[in-house]
Amino acid sequence: MRTPELVHSRALEATLATNKLIRNTYTLLSMTLLFSGLMAGLSVFLRMPPMTYLLGLGGAFVLIWLVLPRTANSAKGLGVVFAITGLLGFSLGPLLTMYLSLPNGPQIVGTAFAGTGVIFLGLSGYALMSRRDFSFMGGFLVTGFLVVLMAALANIFLAIPALSLAISAAVIFIMSGFLLYDTSRMVHAGGSTNYVLMTVSLYLNIFNIFVHLLHILGVMGGDD
């Protein structure tokens, strides 16, 4: 009776491929987060000007949209991932310098850092343990992200503090949703998803949660 053996063999192969994808993704993610943190520290130490944030983001997005798709399936992809995360980490320097200069600055930054870690571990753990398929959220999340981008664009010129806080809260919820969506994509892909691309997706979710949590804590937790 070969058919049940064939089915069992294919299921086992898919499970092994999924486990390999998850292992590779989280290993690369932890290395890139560490590297990004070091670059952020260097940027704070060098007292980089505020424009660094914008230039770092711009450079990272050029790499993500133009370079990464062409290199994700080769060894060069690893270098590109570290370049992206290094740039984004370096761009955080001016932001961190600004928040650290507040009276309870170190507490705000530390709380944002720890809070981001708890959110990431909690949501990833839930998606991995429950093995639920969150693919239905994709359209809703990307629509929400587009709305937030448009609101952020408007608020550059409107400069309404309450809208700024609402945007940050919305980004955190959307990125939390993306954490569930991306993690479930890994679990249900059967190993067909590229771990380099998964790492960048997860990293961007964590990065955005940290930046916007820092903003909320900086505004709400200040001594005003």
**Cβ closest to another protein, residue 84 vs residue 119:** 119
Residues 2-41 binding another protein (CB under 8 A) are: none
**Cβ closest to another protein, residue 24 vs residue 144:** 144
Q: Among 146, 158, 160, 192, indicate the residue that binds another protein (CB under 8 A).
A: 146
**Residue 172 is a binding residue for another protein (CB under 8 A):** yes
**Residue 123 is a binding residue for another protein (CB under 8 A):** yes
Question: How far, in Å, CA of 194 to CA of 200, rounded?
Answer: 10
Residues 70-109 binding another protein (CB under 8 A) are: 104, 107-108
Sign of CA dihedral 4, 7, 13, 18: negative
**Residue 113 is a binding residue for another protein (CB under 8 A):** no
- Helix axis angle for 161-188 and 138-158, nearest 10°, is 160
Q: Among 17, 24, 37, 132, indicate the residue that binds another protein (CB under 8 A).
A: 132
Site for another protein, rule CB under 8 A? 50-51, 54, 57-58, 61, 65, 104, 107-108, 111-112, 115, 118-119, 122-123, 126, 130, 132-140, 142-143, 145-146, 149-150, 152-153, 156-157, 159, 169, 172-173, 176-177, 180, 213, 216-217, 220-221
